[in-house]
Amino acid sequence: MQHQDRLDTAATGRVHSIETFGTMDGPGIRFVLFLQGCALRCRYCHNPDTWDTSAGREMDVEAVLAEIEPYLDYYRQSGGGITISGGEPTLQAPFVAALLREAKHRYGLHTAIDSSGFCEPAHAEACGLLDAVDLVLLDLKMMDAARHEDLTTQPNERILRFARHLSDTGRRMWIRHVLIPGVTDRREDLLALGRFIGTLRGVDKLELLPYHRMGVYKWQQLGIPYTLEGVQEPTQREIERAKRIIEEGRREASRTGCTASSGPRIPQYGA
């Protein structure tokens, strides 16, 4: 075993939970590892129990790989792989890099992270995380800085820097946006999102994720006030409208020449 391999299999992370047949977080059937820890406090978060960095259980890379192994055929035959989600996976970047390197090296799996992008690019590069990732599912929540902070408690400059870095370094992305009626569905916000996406290279897909209330009981269990009481899930019509506006913004960016020089790929929509 090489020195780097030994280091990789010995790396440990704090794990919230495991899903062995994930179909929502990247292509195909996927092993999804949810990690502990997130610096954001999104008002709609359906996993507030992942916020605490000290909660969960500690696992090393070898232990996670042992959980993957029984299902390898499903992941391979479906064109799936492994996705690290959370919480925020980049908070445990060295562990995630080690795990994904090993999953790729040992099993040849497609690798992805589901990230808020709240990570300095240099941090993700230093440990080789971005080189170990085939696809970044990047959650862009709000382009307006003040409204982003109101929604998540954190500013969005770092997130936009991370997105720009992915684009500049040729990484593949799926952009995700949670559509919350009355909160993230204002025309100007969706247009701004579309315009920004229109300037990025490497965006293979846009996913509008309809707000849902399935995690509200967790806020109650944790005794944290839930500030979106009374907000409804978006209708299909509202989802279609949002797609149209984002697309309008994206086209505008193309027309005004803001788009990356290689020209825009026409992204697929998913919801």
Residues that bind ligand SF4 (CB under 6 A): 38, 40-42, 45, 47, 50, 86-88, 116
CB of 153 to ligand SF4, least distance (A): 8
CA distances from 42 to 32, 153, 187 (A): 21, 7, 21
DSSP string, the chain: --HHHHHHHH-EEEEEEEEEEE-SSSSSSEEEEEES--S---TT-S-GGG--TT-SEEEEHHHHHHHHGGGHHHHHHTT-EEEEESS-GGGGHHHHHHHHHHHHHHH--EEEEEE---S-HHHHHHTTHHHH-SEEEEE---SSHHHHHHHHSS-SHHHHHHHHHHHHTT--EEEEEEE-TTTT--HHHHHHHHHHHHT-SSEEEEEEEE---TTHHHHHHHTPPPTTTTPPPPPHHHHHHHHHHHHHHHHHHHHTT-S-TT----PEEE-
CB of 249 to ligand SF4, least distance (A): 23
Of 9 and 156, which CB lies nearer to ligand SF4 in the complex structure?
156
CB of 215 to ligand SF4, least distance (A): 9
Of 72 and 216, which CB lies nearer to ligand SF4 in the complex structure?
216
CB of 12 to ligand SF4, least distance (A): 21
Of 7 and 209, which CB lies nearer to ligand SF4 in the complex structure?
209
Of 100 and 137, which CB lies nearer to ligand SF4 in the complex structure?
137
CB of 100 to ligand SF4, least distance (A): 19
Q: Are 194 and 252 in contact (CB under 8 A)?
A: yes
Of 116 and 199, which CB lies nearer to ligand SF4 in the complex structure?
116
CB of 178 to ligand SF4, least distance (A): 8
Of 87 and 234, which CB lies nearer to ligand SF4 in the complex structure?
87
